[in-house]
């Protein structure tokens, strides 16, 4: 399966290169390294979110509340910053991670202890977290002029030629790669996604593992909350409304199977980059936003078709075995 | 039960002349497994034929062929003397063949009438369903079956299992079924419900249906069936009239077999008790289970399907909870709350369904092997890949696994090699007690021998093995002692010396010698 996955990622990478090539014919500056760096930076938040979503999807669950978590946590840190500009940014980031974690713990607890399907739990918390944003802010916005310069400039500072935001996403990608390939929890996530029954017999606590993945997606949602607000310098109840679908789309395009157990860090990153390139490039070559939607929609369907074909081949082997047994 | 009166009634009926359904020379193979070889079966109108055989004898495969789900590799199917084929479930339905399963396939949220007429409901002239006619017809069908107490408008989910069976039969009647297959219909019924089912079967007989009755229970077979056909290892080994044949004769047909497999010779060195279980009970599955497993011993667990053997083992392995009872390992009482607890204590359970509960298809071989040992192959949550590989290599080599690389997806291996991966993964946890549930079910002869050889090796090294098996030769060939379970209780615990297959089958089925 490793080979097959690689195969899939190589295809996605090829698709991205072809896409960049096509765009370059209309807009020659697009393939410029400086511009590509810019695209990467623009896509950083989506990549981080897609990774958080990926670990959830791998366990046959889904987290629909990530964008609402982002909105709520973003509002909390923006209000904190407005009220106490002296709080250093690293502390604010830790607070964002913790607030996000709390929201993730709520999701995870409901999924684990009350055994409610994650799609139902997070559909509920999607609304609740956004509603909570309204409650804490009283419906007011936090504008750029209320935020401290540090708050806004932290992620824009250049470090070794890249903005801090890009470095944060690189760090998160590396961390996820290590967790998914080199740790017990990463292995357990894949195992319960592929075969929950066998995992139970092997002594893996399926409920607890699901709880942990929701904690991870919650923390990622919180981190993305700070990054988003400081990037677009406005915090409101409407922030990232509907963005959960972009996150899931990035995962699906990246070859992460909604049925669980199949997917990789590379896939999620490439899936997010694909969407990032489309949304960055098409406006500059004068293609209407509606075409953008059509193109990303087609990419999703194409990705699902390719994945389904791959999985069906496996399914047949299982079926034959089951019949023989 | 007044069986003599019943038999008298059967004997009065003139023997049916021509069979309604004949299967002859039917063979069916799956990759690596020969499920049926040259079997024949005849069903006569107005008679009940019992299909008898151990698990894996090929009964379910035959039912699937009769209902059009499987296609035979060779052989002929005849209905009313005409050769025919059953290429699909729909075709079988069209010939009036209907099967009533243990868990009947009906629709819980539809009404009784809807269930009876689903797919062939009466229509009005506008093409919509004629509800009134449908309800009336449903009542009529139920009346003729003497099941008028069932309300045609009731939701199916509000009925008991016995009444659901009646609805299934009513459905069969409504499509004018002529051949009714009942696959272990009594498995989930109470005594009273079984009586009602038998009345119904009597009714089907008097209505001229040909009935195939599959059951493990001899008293039921003798009570209701006229004829029998015995299968063993996918072959037909006997058929005839039940009134001419004694239970012991049928048991002999079921178990007598050619020696096609040599079990490893071993000199058991049995030591002190390792695992002792007493008074273990579960609210619904088993009651008052007590036994001892000694060092270096293979303890066989025999019984019919549903006797509660796997459930007991799952409780010992920490997967299900018990209501009462004690488990102790090496003299220390343990109360496993999860599989992880049991593995930690040194008890591992190798489950029966390899595909569903054993291998994780999609993960490479080495990751499958290390899965229950991750705690040992990692340090504060971080995996040490070199140790993982070393662990996987040493255990797969001991089991003579054939694979090009340990990074290969376990799904690409044959069934036998997958089973070796599963066993390797449990051995890698260095257990004291290993519980094997149907360790050789559905695997080829060569892999079977390897698994048996390995079991012998394990006990020689001082491990203790519990082997749950429904295969008599395996039980007799491998066990030092045998525990026989029946209906959730231990029926007998015997030394394997001088034990014979017939005694075991009789004990498991509750037949007096």
The model scores a pTM over 0.90: no
Q: Which CATH class is domain B270-346+432-508?
A: alpha beta
Q: For chain A (length 325 residues), average pLDDT per consecutive 10?
A: 59 88 87 92 97 97 97 97 95 97 97 94 97 95 94 92 96 96 93 90 92 98 97 94 93 90 93 90 80 82 74 42 37
What string of DSSP letters covers B444-509?
A: -HHHHHHHHHHHHHHHHTT-EEEEE-S-HHHHHHH-SEEEEEETTEEEEEEESTT--HHHHHHHHH
Please compute the mean of the pLDDT values over residues B169-198 and round it to a whole number: 81
The predicted structure's pLDDT at residue A62 = 97
Closest Cβ opposite residue B31 in set A191, A314, A320: A320
Do B1-96+216-258 and B270-346+432-508 come out as alike in CATH topology?
Answer: yes
| Average pLDDT of span B449-464 | 86
Of A191, A203, A325, Cβ closest to residue B363: A191
Torsion of CA B447, B452, B456, B459, to 10 degrees: 100
φ, ψ of residue B32 to 5 degrees: the values are: 85, -10
Scanning B12-41 for CB atoms below 8 A from A yields 30-33
Looking at residue B433, what is its pLDDT?
95
Shortest distance, CA B2 to any CA of chain A (angstroms)? 40
Superfamily of domain B1-96+216-258: P-loop containing nucleotide triphosphate hydrolases (3.40.50.300)
What residue spans define the domains of chain B? 1-96+216-258, 270-346+432-508, 354-430
Spatial distance between the Cα atoms of B266 and B287, rounded to a whole number of angstroms: 34
Task: State percent of chain B over pLDDT 70.
Answer: 91
Give mean pLDDT, residues B87-99.
86
Alpha-carbon distance of B29 to B162, in angstroms, equals: 35
Contact check, Cβ <8 Å, B340/A204: yes
Identity of the residue in B355, B381, B409 whose CB atom sits nearest the CB atom of A321: B355
**Min Cα–Cα distance to chain B from A214, Å:** 18
pLDDT of amino acid B441: 75
Which domains are seen in chain A, by residue range? 2-324 (1.10.3470)
Neighbouring CB atoms inside 10 A of A124's CB total: 16
CA-nearest residue to B339 within chain A is: A203
CA distance A316 to chain B (A): 11
CB contact under 8 A, B415 and A190: no
Give the pLDDT confidence of B228-255 residue by residue, as tens digits: 999 988 889 989 999 988 888 888 888 7
Decide if A314 and B351 are in contact by the 8 Å CB cutoff: no
Residue appearing with tokens 């990153």:
A269
* pLDDT value of residue B355: 64
Q: Could you count the other beta carbons within 10 Å of the beta carbon of residue A59?
A: 24
B437: helix, strand or coil? strand
| Contact residues of A toward B, CB < 8 A | 1-2, 182-188, 190-191, 194-195, 197-205, 261-262, 314, 317-318, 320-325
3-class DSSP string for B212-266: EEECCCHHHHHHHCCEEEEEECCEEEEEEEHHHCCHHHHHHHHHCCCCCCCCCCC
Q: Among A208, A172, A136, A168, which Cα is nearest to A53's?
A: A172
């Amino acid at each position: 399966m490793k080979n097959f996955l690689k195969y899939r990622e190589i295809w996605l990478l090829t698709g991205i290169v072809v896409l960049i090539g096509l765009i370059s014919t209309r807009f020659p500056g697009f393939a410029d390294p400086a511009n590509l760096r810019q695209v990467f930076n623009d896509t950083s938040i989506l990549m981080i979110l897609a990774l958080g979503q990926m670990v959830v999807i791998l366990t046959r669950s889904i987290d629909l509340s990530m964008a609402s978590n982002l909105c709520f946590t973003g509002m909390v840190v923006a209000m904190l910053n407005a009220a106490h500009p002296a709080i250093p940014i690293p502390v604010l980031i830790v607070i964002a991670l913790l607030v996000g974690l709390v929201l993730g713990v709520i999701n995870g607890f409901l999924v684990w202890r009350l055994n409610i399907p994650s799609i139902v739990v997070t559909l509920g918390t999607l609304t609740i977290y956004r509603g909570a944003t309204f409650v804490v802010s009283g419906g007011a916005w936090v504008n750029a002029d209320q935020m401290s310069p540090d708050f806004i400039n932290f992620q824009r500072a250049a470090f070794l030629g890249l903005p801090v935001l890009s470095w944060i996403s690189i760090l998160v990608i590396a961390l996820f790669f290590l967790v998914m390939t080199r740790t017990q929890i990463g292995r357990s996530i894949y195992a319960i996604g592929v075969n929950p029954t066998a995992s139970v017999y092997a002594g893996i606590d399926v409920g607890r593992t699901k709880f942990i993945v929701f904690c991870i997606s919650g923390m990622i949602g919180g981190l993305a909350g700070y990054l988003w607000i400081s990037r677009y310098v406005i915090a409101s109840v409407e922030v990232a409304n509907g963005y959960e679908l972009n996150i899931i789309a990035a995962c699906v395009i990246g070859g992460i199977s909604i049925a669980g157990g199949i997917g990789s860090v590379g896939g999620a990153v490439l899936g997010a980059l694909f969407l990032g390139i489309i949304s960055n490039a098409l406006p500059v070559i004068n293609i209407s936003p509606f075409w953008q939607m059509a193109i990303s929609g087609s990419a999703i369907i194409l990705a699902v078709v390719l994945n389904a074909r791959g999985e069906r081949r496996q399914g047949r082997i299982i079926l034959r075995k089951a019949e023989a047994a | 039960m007044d069986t003599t009166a019943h038999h008298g009634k059967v004997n009065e009926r003139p023997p049916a002349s021509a069979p309604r359904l004949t299967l002859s020379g039917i063979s069916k193979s799956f990759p690596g497994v020969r499920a049926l070889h040259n079997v024949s079966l005849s069903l006569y109108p107005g008679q009940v034929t019992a299909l008898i055989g151990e698990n894996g004898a090929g009964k379910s495969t035959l039912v699937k062929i009769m209902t059009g789900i499987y296609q035979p590799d060779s052989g002929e199917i005849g209905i009313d003397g005409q050769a025919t084929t059953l290429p699909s479930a729909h075709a079988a339905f069209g010939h009036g063949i209907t099967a009533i399963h243990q868990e009947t396939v009906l629709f819980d949220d539809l009404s009784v009438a809807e269930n009876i007429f689903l797919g062939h409901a009466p229509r009005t002239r506008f093409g919509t369903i004629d509800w009134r006619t449908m309800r009336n017809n449903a009542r009529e069908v139920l009346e003729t079956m003497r099941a008028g107490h069932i309300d045609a408008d009731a939701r199916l989910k509000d009925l008991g299992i016995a009444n659901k069976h009646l609805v299934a039969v009513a459905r069969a009647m409504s499509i004018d079924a002529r051949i009714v297959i009942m696959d272990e219909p009594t498995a989930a019924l109470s005594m009273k419900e079984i009586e009602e089912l038998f009345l119904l079967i009597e009714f089907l007989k008097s209505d001229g249906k040909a009935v195939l009755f599959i059951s493990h229970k001899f008293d039921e077979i003798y009570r209701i069936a006229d004829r029998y056909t015995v299968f063993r290892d996918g072959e037909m080994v006997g058929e005839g009239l039940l009134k001419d044949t004694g239970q012991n004769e049928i048991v002999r047909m079921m178990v007598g077999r050619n020696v096609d497999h040599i079990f490893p010779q071993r000199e058991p060195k049995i030591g002190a008790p390792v695992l002792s279980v007493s008074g273990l009970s579960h609210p619904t599955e088993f009651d008052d289970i007590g036994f001892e497993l000694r060092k270096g011993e293979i303890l066989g667990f025999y019984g019919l399907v549903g006797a509660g053997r796997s459930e007991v083992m799952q409780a010992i392995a920490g997967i299900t909870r018990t209501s009462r009872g004690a488990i102790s390992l090496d003299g220390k009482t343990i109360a496993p709350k999860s599989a992880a607890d049991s593995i930690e204590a040194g008890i591992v359970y190798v489950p029966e369904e390899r595909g569903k509960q054993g291998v994780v298809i999609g993960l490479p071989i080495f990751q499958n092997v290390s899965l229950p040992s991750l705690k040992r192959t990692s340090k504060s949550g971080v995996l040490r890949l070199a140790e993982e590989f070393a662990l996987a290599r040493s255990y797969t080599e001991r089991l003579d696994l054939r694979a090009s690389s340990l990074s290969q997806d376990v799904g690409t291996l044959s069934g036998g090699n997958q089973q070796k991966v599963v066993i390797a993964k449990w051995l890698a946890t260095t257990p004291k007690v290993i519980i094997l549930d149907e360790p050789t079910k559905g695997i080829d002869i060569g892999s079977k021998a390897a698994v048996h050889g390995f079991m012998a090796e394990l006990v020689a090294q001082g491990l203790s093995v519990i082997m749950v098996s429904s295969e008599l030769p395996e039980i007799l060939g491998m066990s030092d002692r045998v525990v026989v379970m029946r209906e959730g209780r231990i029926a007998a615990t015997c030394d394997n010396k001088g034990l014979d297959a017939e005694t075991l089958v009789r004990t498991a089925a509750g037949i007096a010698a």
